[in-house]
Structure 1
Amino acid sequence: MFTMRPATEADTPGVASMITARCDWMEQRGLESWRENVDDLAGQAGSGFMWVLEAEGRIVGCTTVMTQAPPKDWTSEEAAEESLYLFTTVTDPGYREHKPGTLIALWAVDQAARQGRQWVRRGCFFPELVKYYETQGFALVKEMDRRAGHLYLLARRAERLDLDELGLTAVVTI
């Protein structure tokens, strides 16, 4: 059973350990990682915006959830549509067979629907992530060039899901 809950400052070491495990996994495969940003990313645990996915008392994933669109990414019309925005989703590669990233995404889809929001939106800089997010029901909406690289923006309609069927509970809603 997995639990999705708000992160606290006390989660910082567990989040850092999980992100470091992901960096190790990525680097072993010749992929770019966030190793130099582990402390900054983990430090977001006390921000009030990070959520963690737990299994057996261990943090196996995290994501940052916002209710405001990044101003440069979405048009004013898109930003006016009630949405949740996912950022910096990271999962423990040791739990890959359980698809923690998909559990986090589906939790967000359900949370958005429970709140009466229309969409869950996210962005990424890697085409491989676009393909992965599409397996979660997200659709590529648009692409744009940013200083950090080529940005892909995706969205999925909010809908109520049976989280129990997925083996996921949410301690608190957003």
Structure 2
Amino acid sequence: MIVVRAELGDLARLIKFRTDTAAWLRPRGIDQWSLPFPSEHMTASIIRGEVFLFKETPTSDAAATVTLDREADELLWTPEERVVDALYVHKLTVDRAYSGSGLGARILDWAGDQAAQQGAKWLRLDAWTTNSQLQAYYLGLGFKHVRTVNNPAAGGSGWVAQRPAKFATHERVAFSDRMSS
């Protein structure tokens, strides 16, 4: 896999990741991402260079996406936690065709490597409060549960976890300059 920064032209694909995943989760009784996400928020993240696509080749369709930034949600992380350098994982989504391939774990390892390269102490994330399967997945990948915030303003995502930022110990995911299709 290679990783490329998302461009504004990728917005429709990023939205499709969310709607496809929400449709897959719904029959399983999980309401995660059931409400539309404001596209202007995603657009701003793309412009800041925080949204990444994972692809088999620079011109193939995206297999997964993640947003990686320094935006600690004030509803989820305490003031003391927010002053500690960390990178935050948002909107990690793997296309169903790649489900079970280990791609999600590789993306989190890549994100942890990015955090370590940037001098951050932690790789942090939040998960849907009612999605116990996703929480167990993150715990299985070495994240430690910090707390669960039950605040309606958090939009359902109040389970927060972190693991130390660390350099990848296996082959790194290649970063590629964007090539035109």
Compute the TM-score of the two structures, normalised by the length of structure 2: 0.80
Give the aligned partner of residue 24 of structure 2: 25
Give the aligned partner of residue 90 of structure 2: 87
* Stretch moving more, 10-19 or 81-90: 10-19
Q: How large is the RMSD of aligned CA atoms in angstroms?
A: 2.5
Instruction: Quickly say closer, same or farther: Cα 1:149–1:64, change in 2 above 3 A.
Output: same
Give the aligned partner of residue 176 of structure 2: 171
Structure with higher strand content: 1
Structure 1 unaligned residues grouped into runs of 5+:
none
Give the aligned partner of residue 159 of structure 1: 166
Give the aligned partner of residue 46 of structure 2: 46
- Residue 118 of structure 2 is aligned to residue 115 of structure 1: yes
- Residue 102 of structure 2 is aligned to residue 103 of structure 1: no
| Cα separation, 2, equivalents of 1:35 and 1:5 | 27
1:141 aligned residue (140, 146, 168): 146
Identity %: 22
Instruction: Quickly say closer, same or farther: Cα 1:36–1:146, change in 2 above 3 A.
Output: closer
* Cα displacement (A) at 1:28: 4.5
Which residue identity is paired with 2:56? A
* Structure 1 contact 51–64 (Cα < 8 Å) conserved: yes
* Cα displacement (A) at 1:80: 1.3
Compute the TM-score of the two structures, normalised by the length of structure 1: 0.82
1:127 aligned residue (106, 123, 132): 132
* Stretch moving more, 24-33 or 54-63: 24-33
| Cα separation, 1, equivalents of 2:102 and 2:20 | 16
1:72 aligned residue (72, 75, 95): 75
* Structure 1 contact 9–43 (Cα < 8 Å) conserved: no
3-state SS of the aligned residue for 2:105?
Answer: helix
| Cα separation, 2, equivalents of 1:63 and 1:74 | 20
Instruction: Quickly say closer, same or farther: Cα 1:41–1:35, change in 2 above 3 A.
Output: farther
Which residue identity is paired with 1:124? A
